[in-house]
Amino acid sequence: MPFSNVYESVVTAALSASLVSLILLDARSIQQIVDKLRLFTMGLLFMLFGRDKRWKRRPPDSATVSALSGRRVRRIYLVRHGESEWNLIFNKGSKLLLPFKAIAALVREILLFVHLDPDSILYDSPLNQQGLEQAQEIAAWLRENPDSLPEPSLVVSSNLRRALQTVVIALQDRFVIQDNDAPKQQKRVHVLSSLQEVSTNVDTVSLLAPHATPTLPRVPELLQAPARFEVSRNYGNKSLRGTGRDRIIAFCDYAFESAHDSIIVGCHSLWARFFFRELLPSDVNSVAKDSKIANGGIVSCDLISGNVNNITVYAIDPDSVQVVYKGFDSKVKLPISQQKPKAA
């Protein structure tokens, strides 16, 4: 049975069960049911009518990039989240097992609904165990290679849980700098709706309300204290009729509003790939346009802002794309000059 049909059946069953529950439960429980049904409905609408990946690409060409006046540059470090529950179900293992894994995930989703648990496996899919370990591996690698990500840097993240989990775990040593066993400096993660994944799958629907502080499963309380996050640019879920390009340009606007020259970005595979496709020159071939950053991988590039005929143009310098850690899931490699060897 196609996943969309199974999904519709689950939504129908959940709606039927909720009609009885509304009579029997208290106000808080009813609110949780209503919120979950709203989430189910939003996911269905995105799957059926979303335009997130539909836009006419218009990257600049090399001549336009060379002609930019008033050029400014931000060094961007894209940190792709670790493996998520969704990745484990739909992107790994034999395709023959996919229907069984999907049904098992839907059963887990129903049980969460029945127990009035606001968590979700499929919506805003969090890191699985391997993803948590991948985030810890970044943290361990950064301890051995502290100069690989510059300091000071602005730290930003998608409003989806898997990206936030990865960032706060991977950069945990930077969030609290100790001085005689007392916290000396606190670094904040700026939560940006503009970094939300480019897809109409339900795992890209955010559980986080506008300007709300995230709650991250299986992350130590110290790393997700409310003071850890700056949420003024978290506007909630992406628009049903909006596109990924809208958010990519919104992120570029934000990057150049900032006074920071270096920005560490907790992001997603498709967002990063479309970021490169939209901003690398159209006449340049690059592995970054065709391949995903590996789970728990880091790739950097120079984001350029300039003007042509008084119009702001954003672009990525193709010679600046560099592997920092792991790199791309691809058989095609970057030129040797753009590869940065991993530490032993």
For residue 77, give its domain range.
54-84+125-338
User: In terms of domains, do 112 and 190 share one?
Assistant: no
Angle in degrees, 0-180, between the axes of helices 27-49 and 3-24, rounded to the nearest 10? 160
Say what the pLDDT of residue 102 is. Answer: 87
Nearest to 88 by CA among 36, 47, 133: 133
Residue 343 lies in a domain: no
Dist. CA 237–CA 204, nearest whole Å = 9
User: In terms of domains, do 105 and 154 share one?
Assistant: no
User: In terms of domains, do 94 and 221 share one?
Assistant: no
Tell me: pLDDT of 85 over 80: yes
Stretch 21-48: mean pLDDT, rounded?
80
Residue 292 lies in a domain: yes
Stretch 107-127: mean pLDDT, rounded?
90
One-letter-per-residue 3-state SS of 147-189: HHCCCCCEEEEECCHHHHHHHHHHCHHHHEEEECCEEEEECCE
Name which of 42-46, 110-114, 248-252, 287-291 the model is least confident about: 110-114
Whether residue 217 has a cis bond before it, omega within 30° of 0: no
User: Structure tokens of 26?
Assistant: 């208290």
User: In terms of domains, do 156 and 35 share one?
Assistant: no
Nearest to 299 by CA among 284, 281, 315, 286: 286
Name, in order, each residue with C-beta under 8 angstroms of 213's C-beta and a sequence gap of 6 or more: 226, 229, 231
Nearest to 90 by CA among 44, 118, 128, 117: 128
Residue 208 lies in a domain: yes
Instruction: Give the pTM.
Output: 0.88
Bridge partners, 157 (sequence order):
191, 266
Name which of 145-159, 172-186, 258-272 the model is least confident about: 172-186
Phi, psi dihedral angles at 128 (to 5 degrees) = -90, -175
Dist. CA 40–CA 202, nearest whole Å = 9
Q: Give the number of domains in the chain.
A: 2
User: In terms of domains, do 164 and 250 share one?
Assistant: yes
User: In terms of domains, do 114 and 236 share one?
Assistant: no
Residue 342: band (very low, low, confident or very high) from pLDDT cuts 50, 70, 90? very low
